[in-house]
């Protein structure tokens, strides 16, 4: 598979899915989970002027390795909406015990998953995809409101009401296979699915090596440690 757009007719009657792929650990495991379920996959990644493009480059690699087509969409969020976009804002570097207690962090990008899922829903209708896979997690996460199960249920209900497919009696299922899993369970699932962890990136910084102290690095590190595995990015 290349990285171009592949029309829905190409896949005939096989199950099809849209996978939201950031290049991070959770989205990579979600991609390989969807593949293990027999779906023909189109991955969507977003270039929204985030602090670095390392994840996008790795998303391209992951999609290729998984045999999926890959589309990168360039969109724009307000410049000062998040520390993931505004390089002048400090990134949160909290201890694990404080991540959930400290409320919504500065890395929250307003309505990001609503926007990402809306694009995915559009492509699902065009490609006649049966499902949209998103690697959200509500156990070991940074407290983003658009990662919660209640939000995903509400979006699913909205999509049934606001799409041609929905009002015609069909549906596009929103799949969240990692929602209730700890980071260690996600790592173990990834190992079982043979996810190439060396091509994933979790750090909020885009340097040669992970910083090891941002929220995302801390959660990833604990996940590998509790799963009894070495993180290849630390070797």
Provide the percentage of residues in the chain whose pLDDT is more than 90.
Answer: 62
pLDDT of residue 117: 97
Q: Within 13 Å of residue 162, how many CA atoms lie on the same side as its CB? A: 9
pLDDT in tens, 66-92: 999 999 999 999 888 888 888 888 877
- 116/23 Cα distance (integer angstroms): 14
Q: Between 198 and 53, whose confidence is greater?
A: 198
| 147 inside domain | yes
- 143-173 pLDDT tens trace: 788 888 899 999 999 999 999 998 998 889 9
Q: Which residues pair with 17 in a beta bridge?
A: 41, 131
For residue 101, is it left (φ>0), alpha (ψ between -120 and 50) or beta? alpha
Number of domains within the chain: 1
- What pLDDT, on the 0 to 100 scale, is given for residue 101? 54
Domain-embedded: residue 196: yes
Q: Which residue has the higher pLDDT, 127 or 79?
A: 127
> What φ, ψ does residue 19 adopt, rounded to 5°?
-115, 125
Is the CA virtual torsion 159, 162, 164, 170 positive or negative?
positive
The 3-state DSSP composition of the chain as helix, strand, coil percent (nearest 5) reads 40, 10, 50
Residue 7 lies in a domain: no
Is residue 179, in this structure, part of any structural domain at all? Answer: yes
C-alpha of 98 from chain center: 23
Specify if 3 maps to a domain: no
Would 52 be classed as within a structural domain? yes
Instruction: Indicate whether 1 belongs to any domain.
Output: no
- 142: pLDDT strictly greater than 70: no
Report, as an integer, the average pLDDT of 52-60: 93
- Full domain range(s) for residue 55: 12-234
DSSP state of 28: H
CATH of the domain at 222: 3.40.50.620
Per-residue pLDDT at 7 exceeds 50: no
Distance CA 130, CA 27 (A): 18
Whether 6 is covered by a domain: the verdict is: no
Mean local confidence (pLDDT), 38-47: 97
Per-residue model confidence (pLDDT) at position 188: 98
């Amino acid at each position: 598979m290349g990285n171009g757009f592949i029309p829905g007719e190409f896949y005939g009657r096989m199950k099809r899915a849209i996978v939201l792929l950031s290049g991070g650990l959770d989205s990579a495991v979600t991609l390989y989970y969807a593949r293990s379920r027999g779906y023909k996959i189109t991955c969507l990644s977003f270039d929204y002027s985030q602090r670095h493009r390392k994840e996008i480059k790795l998303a391209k690699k992951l999609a290729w390795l998984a045999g999926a087509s890959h589309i990168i969409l360039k969109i724009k969020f307000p410049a000062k909406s998040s520390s993931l976009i505004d390089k002048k804002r400090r990134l949160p570097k909290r201890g694990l015990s404080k991540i959930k207690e400290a409320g919504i962090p500065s890395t929250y990008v307003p309505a990001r998953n609503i926007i990402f899922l809306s694009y995915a829903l559009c492509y699902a209708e065009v490609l006649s995809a049966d499902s949209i896979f998103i690697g959200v997690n509500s156990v070991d996460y940074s407290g983003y409101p658009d990662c919660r199960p209640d939000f995903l249920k509400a979006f699913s209900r909205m999509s049934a009401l606001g799409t041609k497919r929905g009002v015609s009696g069909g549906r596009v299922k929103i799949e969240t296979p990692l929602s209730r899993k700890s980071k260690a369970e996600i790592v173990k699932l990834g190992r079982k699915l043979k996810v190439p962890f060396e091509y994933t990136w979790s750090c909020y910084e885009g340097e040669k090596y992970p910083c090891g102290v941002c929220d995302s690095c801390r959660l990833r590190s604990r996940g590998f440690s509790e799963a009894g595995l070495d993180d290849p990015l630390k070797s």
